[in-house]
Amino acid sequence: MRAYNGLTMKLPSLFGGTRGLEAQIDLYFDKVQEAGLVFGRAMEIYLNRGVSGEFEELVRRVTAVEEEADDLRREIETQMTTHTLIPELREDVLSLIEQVDEVTNHYEAAVYSFYVQKPQIDEAYRDDFAELARMAQQTAEEMVTAARAFFRDLSAVRDHVKKVQFYESEADRITTRVGRQIYESTMDLARKMHLSSFLERLDSIADTAEDIGDKLSILTIKRMV
Partner 1 sequence: MNPGIFTYLSSGLFLGWSLGANDAANIFGTAVGTRMVRFATAALIASIFVILGAVISGAGASHTLGKLGAINTQPGAFMAALAAALSVYLMTERGLPVSTSQAIVGGIIGWNIFMGQPTDPGIVSKFAFAWVASPVMAGIMSAVLFALARVLLRRVKIHLLRLDHYTRWGLILVGAFGAYSLGANNIANVMGVFLNVSPFRDLQLGPVTLSSAQQLFLLGGMAIAVGIYTYSERVMMTVGQDIVRLTPVAALVVVLAQSLVLFLFASQSLAAWLAAHHLPHLPLVPVSSSQAVVGAVIGLGLITPGERIRWDIVRNISIGWLLTPTVAALISVVGMFVLQNVFNLPVRP
Secondary structure (DSSP) of 150-205:
HHH-HHHHHHHHHHHHHHHHHHHHHHHHHHHHHHHSSS-HHHHHHHHHHHHHHHHH
- Interaction of residue 87 with partner 1, rule CB under 8 A: yes
Specify the residue, 1 or 86, whose C-beta has the smaller distance to partner 1. Answer: 86
Q: Per this entry, what is the length of the chain?
A: 225
Report, in Å, the least distance between residue 224 CB and partner 1. Answer: 7
Candidates 11-19, 29-37, 128-136, 185-193; binding stretch for partner 1 (CB under 8 A): 11-19
Instruction: Calculate the CA 163 to chain-centre distance.
Output: 15
Candidates 100-108, 136-144, 177-185, 217-225; binding stretch for partner 1 (CB under 8 A): 217-225
Helix (H, G, I), strand (E, B) or coil at 86: coil
Report, in Å, the least distance between residue 210 CB and partner 1. Answer: 22
Report, in Å, the least distance between residue 162 CB and partner 1. Answer: 19
Contact 111, 126 (CB under 8 A): no
- Interaction of residue 11 with partner 1, rule CB under 8 A: no
Report, in Å, the least distance between residue 217 CB and partner 1. Answer: 15
- Interaction of residue 6 with partner 1, rule CB under 8 A: no
Specify the residue, 86 or 190, whose C-beta has the smaller distance to partner 1. Answer: 86
CA distances from 51 to 63, 190, 197 (A): 16, 21, 18
Task: State the number of CA atoms in the 13 A half-sphere of 204 facing the CB.
Answer: 15
Specify the residue, 25 or 47, whose C-beta has the smaller distance to partner 1. Answer: 25
- Interaction of residue 193 with partner 1, rule CB under 8 A: no
Contact residue for partner 1 among 6, 54, 60, 89 (CB under 8 A): 89
- Interaction of residue 152 with partner 1, rule CB under 8 A: yes
Report, in Å, the least distance between residue 4 CB and partner 1. Answer: 17
Beta carbons within 8 Å of 157's beta carbon, 6+ residues apart: 146, 149, 150, 216, 217, 220
- Interaction of residue 214 with partner 1, rule CB under 8 A: no
Count, residues near partner 1 per rule CB under 8 A: 23
- Interaction of residue 200 with partner 1, rule CB under 8 A: no
CB-CB neighbours of 188 under 10 Å: 9
Q: What CA–CA distance (Å, rounded) separates 128 from 119?
A: 14
Contact 132, 202 (CB under 8 A): yes
Q: Which residues bind partner 1 (CB under 8 A)?
A: 17-19, 21-22, 25, 84-89, 93, 150-155, 222-225
